[in-house]
Structure 1
Amino acid sequence: MATSENNTTSAGNVTNNFEIPGTILKQSVPVIVILVISYFVVFLLCVVGNSLVCFVVAKIPRMRTVTNYFILNLAASDILVAIFCMPFTLVDNIIIGWPFGNVMCKLTAAVQVVSVLASVFTLVAIAVDRYYAIVYPTTHTFTGKVTLYVTAGVWMLSILLMIPQVLLIRENAWVENGQVILTLCQETSAFWRKIYTTLLFICCFIIPLTVIMYLYARIGLAVWFKPTPGGDKATEEAKAVSLQRKLKVIKMLLTVVVLFALSWLPIHVITMINDYGSLLPDQQDILWIYVYPACHWLIYFNSAINPIIYGFFNQNFRAAFRTLMMMKGLNVSAFQSRMVSQGTVIRRSTRKRPLKSAVKAGNEVPPAAV
């Protein structure tokens, strides 16, 4: 979260003739161009991809399943990440200083923390939902009411964890001879900043990653050891198809875990190093000018690829997206009829009958939904 950083990069290696009062330019023009382009591409992918997910789930009744509601919540939180995190983080990575005032300092910090945490916690909720749907398909089901409670809990927990940030952060002005030299949006206490960043590291990375890894490991084992339809009488071709489906699911599980870890680990590591390490000024310059922008970009890249992982890799979403691109001039009713005629309607059968019977009916375990 850009506005929560203790941006104390030394001014020796930056330019102090930037046009915005109270700020210092810390990047060269070529680096600024690279940052703007890379952040804009991720911003565009994030907004467009997640907006498509929201549109499909909101407009097509058949797509309104428990899992898809969680994916809808994930898309909504990722859109908030794009709107309220990416632009301010980009500015923060280009200049030293905060030109937006104290109110925006607190407001953007609050929205950034809430949106990021909601995105992470929704990933955990999706993992829990998939775990029960696949490992315990007949004895455990997520009803609409439970889904609503879980979604509300995700946002309430995110807001609760945001409160310390709002209390700690404010705009500080450095004044010399009655003139404002630099304004920063930063925490007022180094000690409590360390406590808070440690709390976020545990709640936003360690616990979610541990839960996701455990649940997806259980799902992977359940899928791998599931008997092939037909048992010993199954043909070699049927066994090969079953094996390919299992491998596809397991690869998707590994992809989700690895991408989450690679996207979030760097920012947490360098934040902990910055708070607890004894860095020299030159080391701080490298950290703030080059490392932090790359780590922030990885976080936002994760929000941009979430609709691909949880949407486009799902055959029902993929078919819906394709139809959506070709539905110029068609109304929603025609879109629904086309979905039904293509046999791409989301089935809730995985919640009501065992995985074995679902496979017999021709329903492949949806790797994107895990």
Structure 2
Amino acid sequence: QIGLIVLYSLTAMLAITGNVLVVIVFTKGKRCRTDIRPFLINLAIADLIMAVFCLPFTFSSVMLKTWIFSKPMCPLVLCMQHLSVSASVFTNMAIGSDRFLVVMYPLKSRVTTSRAKYVLLGIWIGAVGLSSVQLVVSRAEDMYFGNYHIITCDEVWPTEKARKIFTLFVLLLTYIVPLCILSVTYTIVGVLLWRRTTPGNADFTRDSIQLRSKRKVRHTLIVFI
């Protein structure tokens, strides 16, 4: 249990500190004003929500085997957890789609501030819509096993069919569809960048640097996917 406590504590501290620093750097740093800066800030905010609303409550539930917080907190916590996951996944899809458009149409596809705002608005509307279901179906319930009493925090659906339909819907929107989109877009981006060559006569030093850059791009794309 001591090892688990240390692990959860370090993970929470690193997640919160790291994402706060990312937001500060991309907000204040003059050298970090890339065209996907709004999406990177949004991704850090989504991950920060996860660190605040997921790790502490998950940790306490795992360690104590019961829900120790107020019952109204249960649907709110589950809603925020789903919100952070959905926003993070949708933001990654937006970044992948943007990188694809930049490579395919380099002169037309730069993300403007107004366009980024609309995309981010759509991301959060979708995330809120998907996660708000938890406010309706999640609740904390008392469970008795003889003299043993615990409180569980989980989804309570009227029928098993409704639960399965919603679970499948969430799986499609937050895993299968994003995985397909990111796999296709980053694969195309990787292939196009790998085939791209620098105009002019061959130069060993320049070509070696370009090859190393291509390898870095390949590794980065693999990590993203």
Q: State the TM-score, normalized to the length of structure 1.
A: 0.57
**What is the Cα deviation at residue 73 of structure 1?**
0.5
For 2:72, what is the secondary structure of its paired residue?
A: helix
Tell me whether 1:155 sits opposite 2:124 in the alignment.
Answer: yes
1:198 counterpart residue number: 168
Structure 1 residue 198: deviation in Å? Answer: 2.0
Deviation at 1:175, TM superposition (A): 5.2
What displacement does 1:82 show? 0.4
SS at match of 1:137: coil
Q: Shift in Å at residue 246 of structure 1? A: 1.0
Alpha carbons of structure 1 residues 214 and 112: separation in structure 2 relative to 1, 3 Å: same
Matched with 2:149 is: 181
Q: How far off its partner does 1:176 sit?
A: 7.9
Q: Tell me, yes or no, if structure 1 residue 168 matches structure 2 residue 168.
A: no
Identical-residue share of aligned pairs (%): 32
Q: Which residue of 1 aligns with 2:216?
A: 248
The answer as to whether partners of 2:35 and 2:110 remain within 8 angstroms in 1 is no
Q: 1:173·1:180 contact (CA, 8 Å) conserved in 2?
A: no
8 A contact 1:168–1:193 mirrored in 2: no
Q: Is 1:123 matched up with 2:87? A: no
Which residue number corresponds to residue 216 of structure 1? 186
- In structure 2, the residue matched to 1:56 is 25
Alpha-carbon offset, residue 96 of structure 1: 2.3
Cα–Cα, structure 1 residues 171 and 241, in superposed 2: closer, same or farther, change >3 Å? same
Structure 1 180/101 Cα, relative in aligned 2: closer, same or farther at 3 Å? farther
**What is the CA deviation profile of residues 249-268 of structure 1, one whole-angstrom value per residue up to 9, with x for unaligned ones?**
011101121xxxxxxxxxxx
Whether contact under 8 Å (2:97, 2:185) holds in the other structure is: yes
In structure 1, which of residues 60, 82, 91 is the aligned counterpart of residue 51 of structure 2?
82
Paired with 2:75 and 2:13, the residues of 1 have a C-alpha distance of: 26
> 2:103 corresponds to which residue?
134
RMSD: 1.9
Structure 1 residue 164, shift from structure 2 partner: 2.0
Q: 1:238 aligns with which of 192, 206, 210?
A: 206
Q: Contact 2:79–2:133 (CA<8 Å) still a contact in 1?
A: no
Give the C-alpha shift of residue 90 in structure 1. 0.9
Shift of 1:64: 3.4
The amino acid that maps onto 2:21 is L
CA distance in 1, matches of 2:164, 2:71: 22
Contact 2:87 2:127 survives alignment (8 Å): yes
Q: How does 1:296-315 map to 2 (within 5 A)?
A: none
Gapped runs of 5+ residues in structure 2? none
CA displacement 1:107-163 (0-9 Å, x = unmatched): 111111101111111111111122222232112221111100111111110111112
Determine helix, strand or coil for the equivalent of 1:186: strand
Contact 1:77 1:115 in 2 (8 A): yes
Distance in 1, matches of 2:27 and 2:145, equals: 55
Paired residues, what number? 223
Q: SS where residue 80 of structure 2 aligns?
A: helix
Which 10-residue stretch deviates more, 185-194 or 218-227? 185-194
The aligned runs of 1:265-344 (5 Å cut-off) are none
Residue 174 of structure 1 aligns to a residue in which SS?
Answer: strand
Distance change (3 Å), C-alpha of 1:193 and 1:144: same
What residue number does 1:104 align with?
Answer: 73
Indicate if the aligned counterparts of 2:46 and 2:87 stay in contact, CA closer than 8 A.
Answer: yes
**Which residue number in structure 2 is paired with residue 65 of structure 1?**
34
Q: Give the letter for the 2:181 counterpart.
A: V
Q: 1:221 to 1:59 in 2, by over 3 A?
A: same
Please tell me whether residue 40 in structure 1 is matched to residue 12 in structure 2: no
> Please, which runs of 5 or more residues in structure 1 have no aligned partner?
1-31, 258-370
Say which structure, 1 or 2, has more relative contact order (CA 8 Å, 6+ apart): 1
Q: Is contact 1:77–1:118 with CA below 8 Å preserved after alignment?
A: yes
Residues 176 and 35 of structure 1: CA distance in aligned 2, closer, same or farther (over 3 Å): closer
